[in-house]
Amino acid sequence: MSIRFFALLLAASFVGCKSSDEGSAENRTAEERGFAESTNPMVQTRIQARVDNIKYQRGTTLITNLERVAAYGEPAIPVCLEGLKSEDAMTRMGCAYVLGRIGDTRTVPELETALTDQVDFVRYEAASQLGNMGSKAGYGVLVEGLESERVEYRFKCYEALRELTGHTFGFVHNAPDEERAEAVAKWKAWLELVNSENM
């Protein structure tokens, strides 16, 4: 389920926002970072066109497009790294998804930067994909998402945490506030323990 984590959820239309954080890894070109672009300019043009179309797509069309971009593998990475800087939130979310699907851990710094995005669903997607890549850096963002006002965000953050950690702590995304608060307290206690072990 986490493979299609937020992309399915975000098949609806969202307003784009610009990410305000630019990390040091973002200041280096993809070539300087060691990512190989395709030697075929037509391939790069196709990848760029697919990334440019993310903001217009929803539902299965969006999922199919993201999977096709991910199928290009490493040649898609430079385009997606640029896409993480897009003013369009759907593009940033889609590029985080693709980078996670490709699974190249050299993209972890950019995904970690996306954890501070102004848009919730971009942060949640970056956190989920970091988890899929073996990083715990996004766990805090996912636990934070359990308290979202939007039930669909709570559900997706919970599903990602459950899948990544194997824990549930009795959380039910649509339970009454008081019941959810008890479960969230357990998730927060767990997160403190994880963070203390990583020090």
pLDDT tens digits, one per residue of 137-168: 999 999 999 999 999 999 999 999 999 999 99
Percent of the chain with pLDDT over 70: 80
CB contact set of 119 (below 8 Å; sequence gap of 6+)? 14, 16, 17, 89, 92, 93
Higher pLDDT residue, 20 or 79? 79
Q: Read off the pLDDT of residues 11-50 as tens digits, 9 standing for 90 and up.
A: 443 433 333 344 455 555 555 556 666 668 899 999 999 9
Q: Name the pTM for this structure.
A: 0.83
Q: How confident is the model at residue 90 (pLDDT cuts 50, 70, 90)?
A: very high
Q: Is the pLDDT of residue 78 over 60?
A: yes
Count Cα neighbours of 16 within 13 Å in the Cβ-side half-sphere. 16
* Cβ atoms of 21 and 108 closer than 8 Å: no
